[in-house]
Amino acid sequence: MNIWRKIAHCITGVEECQRCNTLSFAWSECNCPPLFHTETGPKVGTSVIIVKNDTILLAKRLKPYGYGQMALPGGHVEFFEHSREAAKREVLEETGLKTANLRMMGFTEDFDSAMQKHYITIFYMSDWVGGEPANTEPDKSGPWQWVKMSDLKGMRSQLWPPCIEKFTGLGWM
């Protein structure tokens, strides 16, 4: 999109289809087949394993991607934000907790063709600093709970698939 079209978009909300170059207020008005307007690349997210003695912090997801599955605190990495900083920010935003001794634990690559999602999730581990988690974003997750690592094997069907992959790699499942 050239600079004049970018300016027009900012002022009027008109978008240019990247495939057919139609100018419209919505992709649904362009000449492309409907599936052309899915995300064009993976999103990057973080998940943080907060360890308190022999437990980790989990909550039930309430967003469409992974709805109803137990997952770790975390979220999207913003443009020009380091994943470590995103991990700290997301934990604070979602639980009110601070992180300590944050260390990278690898990543998973996740595909959901039904929802047209492709994520690369970077996992970190953090020591528990103190305090109890608050459910500060109740539209995104259920209440936070400390779950014993030894109970994770029995919860396999309730866990978000990237967590299963990471916990299996850590020898917890």
Task: Give the residue extent of every domain in the chain.
Answer: 3-32, 43-128+135-169
| Average pLDDT over all residues of the chain | 85
CA distances 12 to 3, 5, 21, Å, are: 14, 10, 17
Residue 56: pLDDT band with limits 50, 70, 90: very high
pTM for the complete prediction?
A: 0.76
Nearest CA-CA partner of 52 in 162, 117, 131, 110:
131
Among 18-27, 142-151, 159-168, whose mean pLDDT is lowest?
A: 18-27
CATH superfamily of domain region 43-128+135-169: Nucleoside Triphosphate Pyrophosphohydrolase (3.90.79.10)
pLDDT band at 126 (very low <50, low <70, confident <90, very high): very high
Unique residue bearing structure tokens 């459910």: 135
pLDDT at 29: 55
pLDDT at 37 over 60: no
Mean pLDDT of 87-111: 95
> Locate tokens 């967003």: which residue?
63
Higher pLDDT, 144 or 2: 144
Q: How many other C-beta atoms can be found within 10 angstroms of the C-beta atom of residue 95?
A: 23
| φ/ψ of residue 10, rounded to 5 | -60, -40
- Among all chains, which residue has been given the structure tokens 């997801």? 61
Q: Which helix (H) or strand (E) holds 99?
A: strand 99-112
Q: How far apart, in whole angstroms, are the C-alpha atoms of residue 49 and residue 97? A: 12
Residues 6+ apart with CB under 8 A from 166: 47, 49, 105, 106, 108, 123
Q: Label the pairing between strands 23-24 and 15-16.
A: antiparallel
Long-range contacts of range 118-121, CB-CB < 8 Å, 24 or more positions apart? 118/39, 118/41, 118/42, 118/43, 119/42, 119/43, 119/44, 119/45, 119/65, 119/162, 120/42, 120/43, 120/44, 120/45, 121/44, 121/45, 121/46, 121/47, 121/74, 121/162
